[in-house]
Amino acid sequence: MFVGHNSNNLSTIKSKTLKRNWGVFMDPIRLGVNIDHVATLRNARGGSFPDPIEAAKIAKKSGADGITAHLREDRRHIKDDDINRLVNEVDLPLNFEMAATKEMLNIASIFKPHSACIVPEKREEITTEGGLDVVGQSDRLREICNELTNMGSRVSLFIEADEAQIMAAAELGVPVIEIHAGAYSDSNPEDSFAELDKIKNGIKIATNIGLECHVGHGLNYQNVEKIAELRDVAELNIGHFLIAEAVFSGLGNSVKRMRELIDNARVQQE
């Protein structure tokens, strides 16, 4: 949720679009780079290298509009000091992914991140396995969302593209949802169209009731363009693929390539 940043990217994109003179430019899409797995690599051996804050700075130079980091309960990758340094050393807005717990709410109150995305979290999972159950946890989530809003963070809920969950999120008064793209990203070619349709339908429902829509989880070079082509997607948050691709091509190159793909997808061919 990186509103108001990276206007230079927008100017460059518009200029390129005018030079092509063959398409119509849609609203720009923001790219949030998740640097969690730079910290995973660091923690595998201990010490301070590779530094996720340096990764965030490279991402900024390469076209990112913001940085996403998930401070998990077990601190398996991002640590508390990483959040402190991201807030104080990186001139990009921080999207603080957090579980709906009192501990994380207290940490958010200290750092006051630009935005806070509430995600489900289970200790035994390898990565986030699905969306929040907003319907079943509305009372607890309402209190946390209100406190985050009052401290100045823009709140989003990480949910499935399910009408009941979308309506429940809207009822809580949050401005943004982030749709979990895991089923789409993991699907085979035969099923991907159906999964994409689910995302499209969810975005349509959410947009019609005034919610801003973001998408994340599992996006890569092969599947991102179909998501970026969706007019009402305002932001993509991408992490694991970019960090993994960086092993072969370098982080700057992987972010630049993703930036190019999603920007080009915003040009509708006539």
pLDDT tens digits for range 90-100: 999 999 999 99
217 annotated active-site? yes
- pLDDT 10s digits, 187-235: 998 889 999 999 999 999 999 999 999 999 999 999 999 999 999 999 9
* pLDDT at residue 141, rounded to an integer: 96
pLDDT at 267: 82
Active-site residue 235, yes or no? no
> Which range is least confidently modeled, 123-127, 157-161, 247-251, 255-259?
123-127
Out of 97, 195, 212, 245, the active site residue is 97
Residue 123: the pLDDT is 58
Question: Is 71 within a domain?
Answer: yes
**What does the pLDDT read at residue 122?**
62
Question: Among 37, 70, 114, 180, which one carries the catalytic annotation?
Answer: 70
Write out the residue range of the structural domain in which residue 61 sits. 28-269
pLDDT in the model for residue 189: 84
Band the pLDDT of 121: cuts 50, 70, 90. Answer: confident
Residue 22 inside a domain? The answer is no
**Model pLDDT, residue 55:** 98
pLDDT, residue 8, reads 47
* pLDDT confidence bin for 29, thresholds 50/70/90: very high
Q: Is the pTM higher than 0.85? A: yes
Residue 17: per-residue pLDDT: 34
267-269/23-25 β-pairing: antiparallel
Are the CB atoms for 261 and 229 separated by under 8 Å? no
Asked, for residue 7, whether it belongs to a domain, the answer is: no
CB atoms within 10 A of CB 230: 19
Residues 6+ apart with CB under 8 A from 165: 131, 132, 133, 134, 135, 159
Cβ atoms 128, 158 nearer than 8 A: yes
Segment 2-23, tens digit of pLDDT: 765 444 444 443 334 333 333 4
What confidence score (pLDDT) does residue 130 get?
Answer: 76
Total number of domains constituting the chain: 1
Report the distance separating Cα 261 and Cα 166, nearest Å.
28
Structure letter (DSSP) for residue 113: -
* Interatomic CA distance for residues 108 and 128, integer angstroms: 20
Annotated catalytic residue within 37, 77, 180, 217: 217
What per-residue confidence (pLDDT) applies to 111? 97
* Cβ(175)–Cβ(148) below 8 Å: no
Q: Which residues contact 22 (CB under 8 A, 6 or more apart)?
A: 269, 270
**Which position has the token pair 């402190």?**
84
**Would residue 86 count as lying in a domain?**
yes
18 occurs within a structural domain? no
Total Cβ atoms within 10 A of residue 99: 18
Summarize pLDDT for 35-45 with one digit per residue, the tens.
999 999 999 99
Q: pLDDT for 141-184, tens place per residue?
A: 999 999 999 999 999 999 999 999 999 999 999 999 999 999 99
Which domain CATH number covers 240?
Answer: 3.20.20.70
pLDDT score of 25 more than 90: no
Distance, CA of 147 to CA of 105 (rounded, Å): 8
17 part of a folded domain: no
pLDDT at 270 over 50: no
Contact partners, residue 76, CB within 8 Å, separation at least 6: 40, 43
What local confidence, expressed as pLDDT, does residue 9 receive? 47
What DSSP state is assigned to residue 162? -
Q: Is residue 23 part of a domain?
A: no
Q: Is the pLDDT of residue 112 over 90?
A: yes
What pLDDT score does 119 carry? Answer: 96
Q: How far apart are CA 162 and CA 118, in angstroms?
A: 17
Say if 253 falls within a structural domain.
Answer: yes
Is 125 assigned a catalytic role?
A: no
